[in-house]
Amino acid sequence: MSGKSLLLHDALYYQYCFGEEHPFNPVRLQMTLDLMQSMKIIESNQILTPVLPSDEMLGTVHSKEYIDAVKHASTTPDYMSSTYGLGTDDTPTFLDMHRVTSLIVGGTVQAAEMVMEGQCHHALNLGGGLHHSFADKASGFCVYNDAAIAIKHLQLKYNAKVLYLDTDAHHGDGVQSIFYHDPNVMTISFHETGKYLFPGTGNIHERGEGDGFGYSYNIPLEPFTEDESFKEALYEVLPAVMENFKPDIIISQNGCDAHYLDPLTHLYSTINIFAEIPKLVHQLAHTYCQGRWVAIGGGGYDLWRVVPRAWSLLWAEMNHQDIREAPIPKSWIDKWSVNAPVALPHSMKDPEKMYEPVPRKPEIDEKNLLTVKKVLHKL
Ligand SMILES: [Zn+2]
Ligand SMILES: [Zn+2]
């Protein structure tokens, strides 16, 4: 096997777009790929085009009625259904919605397949990470649940035990709900507490049901949580869960909306956390899963300053490279400055003192630590 990781990607992903004014903007994928290419951390033979999954494959997670509704919405721009969560302010319809979202699903499924077949240790699908989608309902900008469908595929084809890790600032509610009764899938989500943020779930008491009890973990973090406390929570809980569960493969959702600059959330991460998270996942994948690691994208709404850097750091980690101290190529800055409403970063690092010290820091750190202790107590 070559030591190189693979990226599943297609220009059709750029059509996963809910309109100019919507925060989920696919230009971030273009900017990220362009940054990786201009930093010369990706070669063209590492990029693979996914294939469309069958309706049958989508149907392993989603109801036929819901898939039919998405198909209908694909050709009917003013379609609106609160039952299926389509045509809402959150998740408006767009032309070709079914095909575009299906291809993103295909990317995550294929990433999982390539890793299981030993064609690479690690594979990435940045278009994926649509974690709010439910079996019969779209939600929070997510139409089909690519991670859940890939997990089903891993179960059906390989009988694999899967650990799904979600570090998006929003709770991974869709994936959790789909496997809530399943003891062969461990879902673990680190997110900003649902007290103040969509979707409102992800309490530590949500632990699974029936046979699946004990196979869902939630670590809700306080608003204004900074890197140190986030990292502590992650490093305390994740290795312990891995040791207990011993999965065959890790799927990590890498939403980068926990950053201080993100307009939708209240966490205070710096860019460093998006190097620290994949670093730990990478180590654990090699320790417990013979390297088998699929990474997907997710949220991230500071398109200009955060997402391209965060996801390039992820990709660099997957390729055993360290770009944390690297400058951003001038060609990239010049190219994207034309459209950017803010000044683009010149370095992979965030500026020192990006924000004023958080007055309640000791209280926040302590509260997070208490949450971690309660979670570990349940292991
Ligand atoms: Zn590796
Ligand atoms: Zn999010």
Q: Rounded CA gap, 253 and 318, in Å?
A: 14
% of the chain at pLDDT higher than 90: 98
Mean pLDDT over residues 200-212, rounded? Answer: 98
Q: Taking residues 30-36, report their average pLDDT.
A: 98
Domain span at residue 301 reads: 5-321+360-377
Which of 9, 121, 132, 171 is the catalytic position?
A: 132
Which protein residues have a CB closer than 5 Å to ligand 2 (ion)?
168-170, 255, 257, 299
Mean residue pLDDT of the chain comes to: 97
Number of domains in the chain: 1
Residue 3, pLDDT score: 75
pLDDT band at 379 (very low <50, low <70, confident <90, very high): confident
Checking if the pLDDT of 322 tops 90, the result is yes
Q: Is residue 345 in a domain?
A: no
In the block, residue with structure tokens 């397949």: 113
Asked if residue 263 is part of any domain, the answer here is yes
Can you give the pLDDT at residue 77?
84
Give domain status of residue 248, yes or no. Answer: yes
CA of 285 from ligand 1 middle (Å) equals 8
Q: What is the pTM of this model?
A: 0.98
Pick the more confident residue, 284 or 379.
Answer: 284
Gap from CA of 169 to ligand 2 centroid (Å): 5
pLDDT (0 to 100) of residue 149: 99
**pLDDT score of 267:** 98
State residue 259 phi and psi, 5-degree precision.
-70, 145
In a domain, 336, yes or no: no
Domain membership of residue 149 (yes or no) is yes
Identify residue 176 by its one-letter amino acid code.
Q
- Residue 329 belongs to a domain: no
Helix, strand, coil fractions of the chain, as percent rounded to 5: 40, 15, 45
User: Is 71 part of a structural domain of the chain?
Assistant: yes
Cα 188 to Cα 55, 287, 333, 361, distances in angstroms: 28, 18, 36, 25
At 59-83, the pLDDT tens digits run 999 999 999 999 999 999 899 999 9
pLDDT number for residue 107: 98
Report the separation in Å between the CA atom of 319 and the middle of ligand 1, taken as the mean of its atom positions.
7
Residue 270 lies in a domain: yes
**Reported confidence tier of residue 1, pLDDT bands at 50, 70, 90:** low
Contacts 24+ apart (CB under 8 A), 236-240: 236/372, 236/376, 237/188, 237/190, 237/372, 237/375, 237/376, 238/165, 238/188, 238/280, 238/281, 238/284, 239/280, 239/284, 240/376, 240/379
Q: Over the stretch 265-283, which tens digit does the pLDDT of each residue have? A: 999 999 999 999 999 999 9
pLDDT digits (tens, 9 = 90+) for 223-266: 999 999 999 999 999 999 999 999 999 999 999 999 999 999 99
| Mean pLDDT, rounded, for 16-32 | 95
- What spacing in Å lies between the alpha carbon of 1 and ligand 2's midpoint? 34
132 belongs to the catalytic site: yes
The CATH number of the domain holding residue 270 is 3.40.800.20
pLDDT score, position 2:
55
Per the CB < 8 A criterion, the answer to whether 168 and 255 are in contact is: yes
Nearest to 298 by CA among 145, 151, 176, 161: 145
Peptide bond into 239 cis (omega under 30): no
